[in-house]
Structure 1
Amino acid sequence: MCRWTRQDRQRSHPLNIQRDEYARRRRQLMRMAGEDAVLLVAAAPERIRNADATWPYRQDSDMHYLCGFPEPDSVLALLPGRKHGEVVLFCRERDPEHERWHGESIGTERAVELHGMDDAFPIDDIDDILPGMIEGRGRVYCHFGSEPEFDARLLGWMRRLRQLRGGGVVPKEFVALGHLLHDLRLYKSRGELKLMHASANIAAEAHLAAMRMATVGRHEYEVEAELMRTMRSRGAVAAFPPIVAGGVNACTMHYQANRAPLRDGDLLLVDAGAELDCYASDISRTFPINGRYNREQRALYELVLEAQLAAIDEVRPGRAFDAAHQMAVRVIAEGLCALGLLAGTADDVIADGSYKRFYPVKTGHWLGLDVHDVGDYRVDGEPRMLEPGMVVTVEPGIYIPPNDTTVAERWRGIGIRIEDDVAVTRSGNDVLTANVPKDAGEIEAWLKRGMS
């Protein structure tokens, strides 16, 4: 009888990134760094939740991007031009006593066999082995400041290198690794886009389940529970703590309490995404708890949807990253002026910034291994141009504070956000999260079917 471990199941998933893609990424990064360099990436540490209980483990995104190794207590060393192997992993040795309590480990032998390492050594031996590998190289690429414990170990290796017999040659430069690595992560491969499609489909299913659950008299946490149940039942986890914000709670952009009852006549804003094999999705929808938008809710909702559709049209090769935001601002400003919620013309409220009373945030962000993914938004002081393979969110909204007495009471406390994940293609874009309805009429029809 074949016994499958957690790692075996992960490796067998047909959408997982393949070994040759991880190898291609490492080769590309080493070419960029040059043969005089060493590149070091540490795994994310296990983090304590309280007492001796840890949070569910999630690998560092850069470590995952370069090798897919899923365990803590590991360090990846890339050594361009090294005769005995350029890709070296330090990781836990297999230990029957540890495995009895915590489950099967990969170990050094299988790190080579299954993860494509040229060589692997026990993490307990890193202080003795790694300084010698670093010796004679001119530059060390590493993340600095994110994990103080790793920073301290790196300084210790430099001290040990100086103490080598005859005096080791210590690297003269320490360079932030993100400058090279994060630009690579910005461009998604075909395999990554397949994973992001799958993640988006799971998140879409979770949102549809949440719409069915969200009825008058339930609570926000019940909707949150349905989101989480659906994601976990499809082999994913939540990419971030879901926002389930009923009524005025939707005017708090990062509302997290998720405790309030769902009330007749209120809208419910749900912002939730799935994470599959470390790749994230991010969807927001806003819908009426009783199944029907009232006049003011619908007017604002259709304005946000108009802004979102216009912004998505700006997500295409050769357009600036901020073009979607500028378009969303223009549409929302014109609409708020037409509804009498802002005085003057769209040009006026954009120029003086008064539209920010009701739309105080940006329209999107990069998406990938992190929900707010890495990558510069500006290059040489100018907005970055979109290129095929980039993935962004498009999420305009309108948030009218409940205590804003400058508008009529019927508008107060309405918060609306519509968010989709959009991949830039050669010919335009691909909305990865299109499986969740967002037209007001379609949402009402969906809710009616769910309530019947």
Structure 2
Amino acid sequence: MTGAVYQMGSGTLAVPMKLFKDNRNRVVEKFKNINSLDNFAYIFLRGGTNTSFNDTDQKYIFRQESYFQYMFGVKEPECYGAINAKTGRSTLFVPRLPAEYAVWQGRIYTLDDFKKHYEVDEVYYTDNMEKFFHSMNTSLILTLFGTNSDSGLQSEPASFPGIEKFKVNSEMLYPIIAECRVLKSPDELEVLRYVAKVSCDAHKRIMKMIRAGMMEYEAESEFLHYCYKYGGCRHPSYVCICPSGANSATLHYGHANAPNNRRIEDGDMCLFDMGANYAGYSSDITCSFPVNGKFTEKQKFIYNAVLDARNAVMSTARDGISWVDMHRLACKTILQRLKEGGVLKGDVDEMMKSGLHAIFMPHGLGHLIGVDVHDVGGYLAGQPERPVEPGFDKLRFARILKAGMYITIEPGCYFIEILMNKAIEDKNLNKFINVEKFEEFRNFGGVRLEDDVLVRENDVENFSIVPRTVEEIEEFMAR
């Protein structure tokens, strides 16, 4: 491979800086068609900053701001970037470091070092940003401002002392760059394929080593260790979710109040939702399996209901298919299997109308994934709005699938105490439930299967290669 690369070491993936240049060019192509912009309009982005622990002098491990990562691939904090919106000429701004930095933090790289490493057209210090824009006769500065549809948080537009002297537009850039991130380039897909494989291998390693009596956090520790040691993945894509037993009914387990700290008991089902991150790109994979490697009949019943839903979506999803319809397909499949097993009764379509599906699967079927694990582009202007029906209102996007999208498919079936109680008490839901059979699953927990897949014209390609059928899991864990 020629040119500069990001690589963590021998045996890890070499990611070409060309990937980020191509990302910049894709965004610029969108601006070339905007006649109101001249050759002196600039996209201006702010990178991430070092953040301290509250009022201490210790800092969190740095993570680059996502849009800046997408456009520049820069690993250092406190940087800015400018791109001519018509020509694509790129400029990186880096902080001017004091000489003492070299004593504590190591070598101070020159501007030419940054230019070569990140393959940008020019590099200046951040204290020269106003001077740069004046020298370019800048007619318009396009900064990034928008609301993330998952978090509800707003991006912070880039700025510098003196920016008020220029004409600034903070609305135009966000929908364009977010939409560009929805479809992945071949180079991006190579990184995503790599980080998915590293994560899958780590999941398989845990399936081999898990034993009753271990703590949930030991699985988390093993995952983080494996991905870093063998894949060069310093960061996870999100806080590891490692519930066992009844804890697996907690959808986002692993947070500060439930830090993967339960002892795993013999006979438990484990639901391990973990993904590594490499070069800023994410994976998000969930495996559910019995700790002793052998499913009980009850575990097999719920697992196969979820597997059937996953397989139904896998075989149907492709370019041109509605993601909302895929969520409906997954929910109906799970309800049908629960009915066949005697947990439910009545007409499945009527169950769907009542919202019963959201009792068992209260989350959306999946999400876009890329630089962010819950990637942007879900509810941009011109795209379908968020549905309002129970369960469907939790979908992170409601778009028509397009070839080149990279998404998760993650159906689940859970027995969540508060929702079980709601279903029993609600006469519109209770009529579909065989309560005695339903109650047998109280404290069961849940099952989720999550794969990272590429949408193609006629099918999807699954990047998550792990044992999935009951037979595959039992055979793999027995070896």
Same fold (TM over 0.5): yes
Shift of 1:152: 8.1
Q: Is the 8 A contact 1:246 1:266 kept in 2?
A: yes
Tell me, which stretches of 5 or more residues in structure 1 are unaligned?
A: 1-6, 162-169
Q: Is the 8 A contact 1:311 1:323 kept in 2?
A: no
**Matching residue of 1:398:** 413
Q: Is the 8 A contact 2:241 2:274 kept in 1?
A: yes
SS of 2:440's partner is helix
* Number of residue pairs the alignment of both structures matches: 430
Distance 2:263 2:411 in 1: 26
For residue 386 of structure 1, the aligned residue among 385, 401, 419 is 401
1:152-175 CA-partner distances (Å, limit 9, x unpaired) = 845x4333x2xxxxxxxx426432
Distance 1:196 1:280 in 2: 7
Would you say 1:89 and 2:119 are equivalent positions? no
Distance 1:39 1:272 in 2: 35
**Matching residue of 2:187:** 191
**Matching residue of 1:410:** 440
Would you say 1:272 and 2:302 are equivalent positions? no
Q: Is the 8 A contact 1:221 1:244 kept in 2?
A: yes
Residues 81 and 425 of structure 1, relative CA distance in 2, 3 Å threshold: closer
Which amino acid is the alignment partner of residue 468 of structure 2? K
Shift of 1:80: 3.5
Greater Cα shift, 25-34 or 45-54: 25-34
Distance 2:9 2:31 in 1: 29
- Name the TM-score, length of structure 1 as normaliser: 0.87
1:240-267 CA-partner distances (Å, limit 9, x unpaired) = 1111001110001001120000011211
Q: Is the 8 A contact 1:46 1:72 kept in 2?
A: yes
Shift of 1:189: 1.2
Greater Cα shift, 278-287 or 418-427: 418-427
Distance 2:6 2:367 in 1: 33
**Matching residue of 1:111:** 114
Would you say 1:419 and 2:450 are equivalent positions? yes
Distance 1:294 1:273 in 2: 28
Distance 1:72 1:66 in 2: 15
Shift of 1:288: 0.8
**Matching residue of 1:32:** 30
Q: Is the 8 A contact 1:284 1:420 kept in 2?
A: yes
Q: Is the 8 A contact 1:214 1:262 kept in 2?
A: no
Distance 2:268 2:318 in 1: 36
Distance 1:422 1:200 in 2: 10
Shift of 1:335: 1.5
For residue 377 of structure 2, the aligned residue among 371, 375, 384 is 375
Q: Is the 8 A contact 1:265 1:290 kept in 2?
A: yes
1:227-282 CA-partner distances (Å, limit 9, x unpaired) = 11111112113111111001110001001120000011211110001111111111
For residue 207 of structure 1, the aligned residue among 203, 207, 211 is 203
**Matching residue of 1:263:** 265
The alignment yields a C-alpha RMSD, in angstroms, of 2.7
Which amino acid is the alignment partner of residue 116 of structure 1? E
**Matching residue of 1:243:** 241
Shift of 1:23: 2.6
**Matching residue of 1:428:** 459
Greater Cα shift, 437-446 or 9-18: 9-18
Residues 377 and 325 of structure 1, relative CA distance in 2, 3 Å threshold: farther
Q: Is the 8 A contact 1:94 1:106 kept in 2?
A: no
Identical positions, percent:
28
- Name the TM-score, length of structure 2 as normaliser: 0.83
**Matching residue of 1:58:** 63
Distance 2:64 2:459 in 1: 33
Would you say 1:122 and 2:112 are equivalent positions? no
1:88-118 CA-partner distances (Å, limit 9, x unpaired) = 1110246542133123344422222222222
Q: Is the 8 A contact 2:31 2:86 kept in 1?
A: no
Residues 180 and 137 of structure 1, relative CA distance in 2, 3 Å threshold: same
Residues 390 and 284 of structure 1, relative CA distance in 2, 3 Å threshold: same
**Matching residue of 2:305:** 303
Distance 1:319 1:149 in 2: 31
Distance 1:149 1:396 in 2: 30
Shift of 1:151: 4.5
Shift of 1:324: 2.2
1:409-432 CA-partner distances (Å, limit 9, x unpaired) = 431122110111111123421100
Distance 1:81 1:242 in 2: 42
Residues 124 and 313 of structure 1, relative CA distance in 2, 3 Å threshold: same
Q: Is the 8 A contact 1:92 1:108 kept in 2?
A: no
Which amino acid is the alignment partner of residue 50 of structure 2? E
Q: Is the 8 A contact 1:388 1:424 kept in 2?
A: yes
Q: Is the 8 A contact 2:287 2:448 kept in 1?
A: yes
Shift of 1:341: 2.5
SS of 1:271's partner is strand
Greater Cα shift, 12-21 or 264-273: 12-21
Q: Is the 8 A contact 2:215 2:264 kept in 1?
A: yes
Residues 145 and 286 of structure 1, relative CA distance in 2, 3 Å threshold: closer
Residues 318 and 252 of structure 1, relative CA distance in 2, 3 Å threshold: same
Q: Is the 8 A contact 1:321 1:384 kept in 2?
A: yes
Tell me, which stretches of 5 or more residues in structure 2 are unaligned?
A: 386-397, 425-434
Residues 332 and 371 of structure 1, relative CA distance in 2, 3 Å threshold: same
Distance 1:81 1:362 in 2: 39
SS of 2:213's partner is coil
**Matching residue of 1:357:** 359
Distance 1:148 1:101 in 2: 35
Shift of 1:319: 1.2
Which amino acid is the alignment partner of residue 21 of structure 2? A
Would you say 1:157 and 2:172 are equivalent positions? no
Distance 1:21 1:401 in 2: 43
Q: Is the 8 A contact 2:19 2:188 kept in 1?
A: no
